[in-house]
């Protein structure tokens, strides 16, 4: 039996960004403060990152000369690592899937220092010179990323020895950028397809995405969710929570855990198979996803959902599927999932995100 092409799309209640919807204004992005902790064991809290292998939140304090390793559940101090003497900078990154080392930038020497967690640090020239601020890693093993604080803003990607340097323009952001984190959009792949920035004194969050070799495009801008003196570091955890450090109007340093629904799809989805059609995916979805399969001619089809590790969770359909649109519902705990549609004429895959 020959069957024409099919279209798989993930439907969700979250409105698409301006680029998807054709809107002239940026869409609202909800930022929910879930918890906040006073950090009274450190003299300051600057850049942050997450150790995905040890499940620890890491933040930098030059005034203490340390990296602090904290429990993300309550931000209590679990350990610390001495910084090189005399460094002055903001960013910190941990290559959880590659070297396992810690990386910091130094605005005085224009170097990036790295360590295995001991008090011994080596260094290499920072491609951003002395302009680097927030740092991150995690899209490719053995790569780290750094945002320049001043205008024009640029994102620098490099191997963990400073080689294979790439630069991406980040237009539309005003003021000194402090915090930076990347996040993978389920429909665009990992180079890093999405970034969130915050400005230190402008006290705004900026949301941008990229596809291919183009510049980053802004799809959202929101004020900080709390009244702050300075907006500082950003990072995210495996449960899709964003951690944000800030200086309060009382002169104290805090870390807040945020829920920001930006870990789903944006722009066009991708598929495999001859003549694969593409549909606009709008996710994450809260609790469950409605998966719509549109058949221009009836025929055999299978629809399965896998978790991020590749484990089959549920077969939503197997057998004959009628012509037209059929909607399937998939419910699961928060996470990243892949819906795979198979037909005699090809297969299509789309990843999507479920939140609480």
More confident position, 135 or 286: 135
Domain annotation for the chain: domains and CATH numbers: 32-259 (2.120.10.30), 278-354 (2.60.40.10)
Separation between Cα atoms, residue 30 and residue 43, nearest integer Å: 31
Nearest C-alpha neighbor of 187 from the set 169, 211, 216, 220: 211
Q: What sign has the CA pseudo-torsion 307, 310, 315, 316?
A: positive
pLDDT band at 11 (very low <50, low <70, confident <90, very high): very low
Nearest C-alpha neighbor of 131 from the set 153, 102, 162: 153
Q: Which residues contact 28 (CB under 8 A, 6 or more apart)?
A: 220, 222
Residue with tokens 């792949």: 189
pLDDT over threshold 80, residue 244: yes
Question: Average pLDDT of 161-167?
Answer: 92
Q: By mean pLDDT, which of 65-74, 157-166, 290-299 is the weakest? A: 290-299
pLDDT over threshold 80, residue 151: yes
């Amino acid at each position: 039996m020959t069957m024409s092409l099919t279209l798989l799309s993930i439907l969700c209640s979250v409105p698409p960004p301006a680029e998807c919807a054709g809107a002239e204004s940026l869409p609202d992005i909800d930022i929910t403060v879930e918890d906040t902790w006073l950090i009274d064991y450190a003299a300051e809290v600057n850049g942050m990152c997450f150790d995905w292998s040890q499940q620890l939140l890491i933040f930098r304090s030059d005034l203490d000369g340390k990296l602090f390793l904290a429990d993300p559940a309550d931000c209590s101090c679990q350990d610390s690592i001495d910084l090189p003497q005399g460094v002055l900078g903001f960013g910190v990154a941990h290559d959880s899937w590659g070297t396992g080392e810690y990386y910091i930038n130094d605005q005085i020497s224009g170097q990036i220092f790295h360590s295995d967690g001991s008090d011994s640090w080596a260094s290499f020239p920072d491609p951003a010179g002395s302009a680097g601020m927030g740092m991150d890693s995690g899209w490719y093993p053995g790569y780290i990323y750094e945002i320049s604080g001043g205008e024009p803003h640029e994102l620098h990607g490099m191997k963990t020895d400073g080689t294979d340097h790439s630069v991406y323009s980040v237009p539309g952001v005003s003021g000194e950028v402090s915090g930076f984190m990347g996040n993978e959009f389920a429909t665009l792949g990992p180079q890093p397809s999405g970034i969130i920035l915050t400005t230190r004194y402008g006290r705004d969050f900026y949301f941008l995405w990229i596809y291919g070799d183009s510049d980053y495009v802004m799809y959202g801008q929101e004020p900080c969710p709390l009244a702050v003196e300075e907006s500082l570091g950003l990072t995210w955890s495996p449960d899709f929570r964003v951690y944000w450090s800030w200086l309060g109007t009382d002169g104290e340093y805090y870390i807040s855990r945020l829920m920001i629904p930006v870990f789903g799809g944006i722009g066009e989805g991708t598929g495999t198979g001859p003549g694969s059609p593409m549909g606009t995916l709008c996710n994450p979805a809260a609790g469950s996803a409605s998966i719509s399969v549109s058949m221009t001619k009836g025929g055999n089809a299978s629809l399965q959902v896998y978790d991020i590790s590749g484990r089959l969770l549920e077969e939503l359909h197997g057998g004959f599927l009628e012509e037209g649109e059929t909607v399937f519902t998939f419910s699961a705990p928060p996470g990243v999932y892949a819906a795979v549609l198979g037909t005699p004429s090809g297969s299509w895959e789309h990843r999507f995100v479920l939140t609480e």
